Structure 1
Amino acid sequence: MTEPNTTAPDPRRWAMFTVLLVGAFLPPLDFFIVNVALPSIQQDLGASPSVEQLVISSYAALYAVTLITGGRLGDLFGRERMFVSGLIGFAFASMLCGLAWSPWALVSGRALQGLTAAVMAPQALASIQAIFSEKEKHLALGLFGAVFGLASVVGQALGGILISLDVFGLGWRAIFLVNLPVAFLVVLFAIPLLRETRARDPRKLDLVGTGLSIMTLAALIVPLIEGREAGWPLWAWLSLAVVPLLAGAFWRSQGKLARSGGSPLLDPRVLAAPGLARGLTVALLFYTISTFFLLFSVYLQQAVHTSALDAGLFFLPYGLGYLIGPLTSPSCRRVFGPFLTPLGMSLEAIGLYSIAWVVGATTPGVVPDHTWLVALLFLTGFGQGLATPGLMHMVIGRVSPDFSGMIAGVTSSTLQVSVALSVAVIGGVFYALSGEGADAGQLAHAFVVALLIIATSQLVGAGLGLTIARQPTSDPAQLSSKQ
């Protein structure tokens, strides 16, 4: 049994959080920054299209399947220790990527980047629950959401800038090597500044649960990421078929360990917190928006024939809205309270439905009206940014700070599963409707249908979020005392 935390807030908590935010910025940045570098990588290293795909998917898959373990490691062994260790490992992996001598050396470096990012990334989100008062958490989550959104927008732009500048003749290698001075400065400040936080009754890591969780997520994530590109081979379907068996074995092992007084990787009693399962479902629906980035880019470049640079510029209103949304969420929360996340997701749905109408009403092959498109992209990004902090609080605010690393990992993993699942399903619908060698009209029609699916997912998530908003949050300390 652990007692509720009644210690005074650390006066350095905002400085600590700033350091953690810089580290949290790197994993999503490196996910997006590599997209624009793929042509240069292919030309320099002679990578095949399948290996190019692995440069992205190896990072995404390893990151997704180890996030829960990374979050739990912070609970058990200290969030500062895991953050610094993960950051050093991430810097080393970035160096391997930057010095890669072959396509497979680059893929190996990217896989290590994903693994170490999963150790580093959950610690920032977990620390919000551990170091801030309830009153300050909303602002901290707002800043976290703004940084996450900024990384998605800055990534592609920064990649293009670094490659075009050809810093020291490094070409595409600069997008990885730039992480080294950043990581060095963060570690320099982190070691003397960060205060160690962890569960107040830490125990050894659940190795059986860790292995089963990684196997379960890998069996789900890998075929979702690789299946469509590979033409959905037999191994992909067999892998998906064993997911329920692995998930069942994992869940039984966690329940057995919890009943025997152990420390499971994913404690079923913590997950039984009122509203938590629905909150994670909202998160799953919320991040279907990730498919929009891919399909909008395809539509712009293949249906209306904009350049890659112009296509990138079209995302700026969305990015601006995503940046402003989280920063205004503390003020908006005073008006809308716990209904802020459903409101934000509803704005996303309105924006996406409206974009679908504008695209559908535009002559195929012609760029939709710029004024409408800019306004609706801003609205959609603003809605997503407004919803993000409340969504994070909806989930991590329902458990004790002792388990914030666990829930931060679960939340981050849920978002990554949503990315893979939505790209596979909604992307699959898009490509099935457009077909090979599609003309502008077919591409526009497929894009409109995909937008309608994404918008409806947001609307369903908003409705589910309303049921959670009406339900009072249990005292997280009570959940800890039951362990």
Structure 2
Amino acid sequence: MAETDQKTPLSPARRWAAAAVLLLANFMNLIDITIVNVALPSMKNELAAPPNLIEWIVAGYTFSFAILLLPAGRMGDLLGRRKLFVSGIALFTAASLVCGIAPGIGTLVSARIVQGVGAAIMTPQTLALVPRLFPPEQRGAAFGLFALTAGLASVAGPIVGGVLLTADIYGLGWRPIFLVNIPLGIAAFIAALMLVPKGEGNRKLGIDKVGIAIAAVATLALLFPLVEAPSIGWQVWMYPMVIAAPILGWVFIRWQRHQEERNAPQLLPMRLLRSGSFLSGSLLNAALFTAVPSYFFTMALYLQAGYGLTPLQSGLTTTPFPLGVLLASATTGWFGSRWVRWRVMGGGILIATGFAGQLWAIWTMGDTISWWRMAPWFFFGGFGLGNTVSPLFQVSLSAADSNDSGSASGAVQAIRQVGISFGIAIMGGIFFGMLGGAEPGDHEAYRGAMMSAIGYAMVIASVVILTPWFTPMKIERAKD
């Protein structure tokens, strides 16, 4: 199939067609995280698996995905981003097939780990390819669509999972939640070869093997307790890992500085770590994502365990959120790269409004869930998220030059993944702590737990509103 050289200009139609392929792959990865949670009880029953192995269906994917994001982004810089992108799709799709036909829990967990590896290989390339596809004035619209896919995936996962489980296609039970990736993955693979421009990468950048090892150990030391704690509680052995994680992070930065001084390969170039735009954009994005996914995690528990809604009903209750993100994707295209600071602050205000409105709705609903009372606040939150994430992506990735966009993309998404895990641990801890030993269906207990969890989300929304006043929040000159 024909490949486009990196310097060949692309027509507008070709740009957006290629972007659609990237968005499909990104959506396929993101929805696979949320859709699995719905099916865990069915997997446990069919496979007769112990709770600790069932937990690893989620944890194994999370670890392999998060640990490899940064090195996979850098490998895209070295070897070519399209090459890594299609390789990741192929591996993710093959692993999905193995998940769907897995005869036992061991095979399923192993395939999920490999699936996470495939997702980690392809995901950093999606954002890194945006500067290659679009001129600076159109990148805001493209990044807005990535925010849309994140919003859609967070809500669509439970809905699609509920539909597939209820349909019980050919008596396959939970297996179609993985098998549905097969046609999508094949389509994305073929379309990527046809539409995504080829780039040879820059092999002169080299491979920082020591940096990869330090980053992997630091990420695992931080994520392992955060992912395990919500299910088994905080154990004594977790605390040394949490303490070691920032120390290893410091060692990693020192090593990168050492590599820079001797003009040796760097996994995460120091020029990015010195950039106020990269740090402010990526860290604020991570802070935001400590609240949003954990908000939907606790909301699902509130609606399903607290009020008896099915996964499908729970997912449909939250559908105004991705509708808000969808509308925001149109406005971010119009804004382009203008008024970044004010857009982040305004988005934070809308997110805070959505959380505050949800507090009011939960407080006043009593013993019956009212979709109409909750819907406007989901919509406000989604609209705010869409208007916040796009400029944060623009700010972060504008700091990278053409040799480092994969590394920057991998770092942004790795930091965000750590933020998600932090959020689940913290917000989930607040929720379960307030819930205590309450039985499912105890409306008052679940209402109080959900309101307490939203209180944490309100704090994060306040951070999003205030941070642009004190930190660099600008799009740097593109270095293509």
Tell me if 1:115 matches 2:117: yes
Tell me if 1:178 matches 2:180: yes
From the superposition, tell whether residues 54 and 224 of structure 1 become closer, same or farther in structure 2 (CA, over 3 Å).
same
Displacement, 1:126? 0.5
Q: Distance in 2 between matches of 1:423 and 1:375?
A: 24
Partner of 2:286: 284
Displacement, 1:99? 1.4
Q: Any gaps of 5 or more consecutive residues in structure 2?
A: 1-5
Q: Distance in 2 between matches of 1:119 and 1:34?
A: 20
From the superposition, tell whether residues 224 and 348 of structure 1 become closer, same or farther in structure 2 (CA, over 3 Å).
same
| Alignment map for 1:29-428 (pairs within 5 Å) | 29-197=31-199, 200=202, 202-287=204-289, 288-332=291-335, 336-363=339-366, 366-367=367-368, 369-428=370-429
Q: Is the 8 A contact 1:273 1:399 kept in 2?
A: no
Q: Is the 8 A contact 1:302 1:440 kept in 2?
A: no
Greater Cα offset, 416-425 or 352-361: 352-361
Displacement, 1:449? 1.7
Q: Is the 8 A contact 2:138 2:336 kept in 1?
A: no
Displacement, 1:393? 0.7
Partner of 1:10: 10
Q: Any gaps of 5 or more consecutive residues in structure 1?
A: 1-5
Q: Is the 8 A contact 2:36 2:58 kept in 1?
A: yes
Displacement, 1:15? 2.5
Q: Is the 8 A contact 1:274 1:473 kept in 2?
A: no
Displacement, 1:356? 1.2
Displacement, 1:223? 0.8
Partner of 1:461: 464
Partner of 1:3: none
1:9-50 alpha-carbon deviations (Å, 9 max, x no partner) = 323333322222222221101111112211221121112222
Q: Is the 8 A contact 2:98 2:108 kept in 1?
A: yes
From the superposition, tell whether residues 198 and 463 of structure 1 become closer, same or farther in structure 2 (CA, over 3 Å).
farther
Displacement, 1:332? 4.8
Q: Distance in 1 between matches of 2:252 and 2:287?
A: 24
Q: Name the SS for the 1:402 alignment partner.
A: coil
Greater Cα offset, 141-150 or 53-62: 141-150
Percent identity, aligned pairs only?
30
Displacement, 1:380? 1.0
Q: Distance in 2 between matches of 1:91 and 1:335?
A: 38
1:280-317 alpha-carbon deviations (Å, 9 max, x no partner) = 22112211211111111111223333343322221111
Q: Is the 8 A contact 1:37 1:159 kept in 2?
A: yes
From the superposition, tell whether residues 308 and 51 of structure 1 become closer, same or farther in structure 2 (CA, over 3 Å).
same
1:89-130 alpha-carbon deviations (Å, 9 max, x no partner) = 111111111111111211111111111100001111000123
Q: Is the 8 A contact 2:130 2:142 kept in 1?
A: yes
Q: Is the 8 A contact 1:296 1:447 kept in 2?
A: yes
Partner of 2:3: none
Residue 421 of structure 1 aligns to which amino acid in structure 2?
F
Q: Is the 8 A contact 1:146 1:327 kept in 2?
A: no
Q: Distance in 2 between matches of 1:101 and 1:334?
A: 50
